[in-house]
Amino acid sequence: MARITAAIASSHVPAIGAAIDNGKTEDAYWKPIFEGYEWTQQWLKEEKPDVVILVYNDHASAFSMDIIPTFAIGCAEEYQSADEGWGPRPVPLVVGEPDLAWHIAQSCILDEFDLTIINKMDVDHGLTVPMSLMFGQPDAWPVKVVPIAVNVVQYPPPTGNRCWMLGEAIARAVESYPEDLNVQIWGTGGMSHQLQGPRAGLINKAFDNAFLDDLTANPQRLRDMPHIEYLREAGSEGIELVMWLIMRGALGDHVKPLHRHYHVPGSNTAVGHLVLKPE
């Protein structure tokens, strides 16, 4: 039987990918960010997950204003790194896990969560930057990936509570998969940041740290948090944090935090990172 053994949350920032790809991880600006992921890189070598269900958002790379799925699942054999304007990142091909992905699609859709099925797409920094932060620069990624893409770019994004319930449905799907797989679920994006308008550059350390606390201490508060609160407190792009609630919903009521990291700034973003185990 497949089982979700642990979860990771992490911000994504394109400049972090560029720092890795251009050999700048030891630079004074970047070093404190990467140091916070060293514990996790080591832990992942021991945990050896087979598959990561990677909840992320596309930034108008695979999708556009033409098609905006609220929740989508990648069922492809493989995913190329997207060209976001500077050529595709020089990272390994992301290898999918189509059998598990189709099982999750079937289980969730019959469980009344209507995921859009994607059989071909490129993946942008939203997916590849967390992979690089956790695994560094290997020749091949050591895990297969089931991408879950969430619309947080065009209003209206899904509510936090809906994200939580999707996480629960994904956990039910994984539990009913007969193959013996060690599965992790990752929630990515966030934390506070705003890339546009008069409040560009907004960071809110108090909000971010309360969010990190409450993923363990009071997840109900986060389930109930309305979009306007993300917008006001965490900036327009802070809404990416709702994706962390899909990860958290998949873990059940009680979790144990194993590792936590927070650093400001990473480009325009507050970089937050958490490793959780279900209890």
- Binding mask 208-237 toward ligand DHB (x if CB under 6 A, else -) reads -----------------------------x
Q: Does 267 bind ligand DHB (CB under 6 A)?
A: yes
Stretch that binds ligand DHB, among 33-41, 62-70, 138-146, 265-273 (CB under 6 A): 265-273
Nearer to ligand DHB, 15 or 251 (CB): 15
Nearer to ligand DHB, 12 or 260 (CB): 12
Site for ligand DHB (CB under 6 A): which residue of 7, 19, 36, 59?
Answer: 59
DSSP secondary structure string for all residues of the chain: --EEEEEEEE---HHHHHHHHTT-TTSTTTHHHHHTTHHHHHHHHHH--SEEEEEE---SSS-BTTB--SEEEE--SEEPBPB-SS-B-S-PPEEB-HHHHHHHHHHHHHTT--PEEESS--B-HHHHHHHHHHH-S-SS-SSEEEEEEE--SSSPPPPHHHHHHHHHHHHHHHHT--S--EEEEEEE--SS---SSTTTT---HHHHHHHHHHHHH-HHHHHT--HHHHHHHH-GGGGGGHHHHHHHHTT-S-EEEEEEEEEEEETTEEEEEEEEEE-
CB of 268 to ligand DHB, least distance (A): 3
Q: Does 58 bind ligand DHB (CB under 6 A)?
A: no
CB of 203 to ligand DHB, least distance (A): 10
Q: Does 269 bind ligand DHB (CB under 6 A)?
A: yes
Nearer to ligand DHB, 49 or 158 (CB): 158
Catalytic residue among 103, 125, 261, 273: 125
Stretch that binds ligand DHB, among 8-16, 40-48, 172-180, 247-255 (CB under 6 A): 8-16
Stretch that binds ligand DHB, among 13-21, 27-35, 90-98, 105-113 (CB under 6 A): 13-21
**Which residues contact ligand DHB by CB under 6 A?**
12-15, 59, 193, 195, 237, 267-269
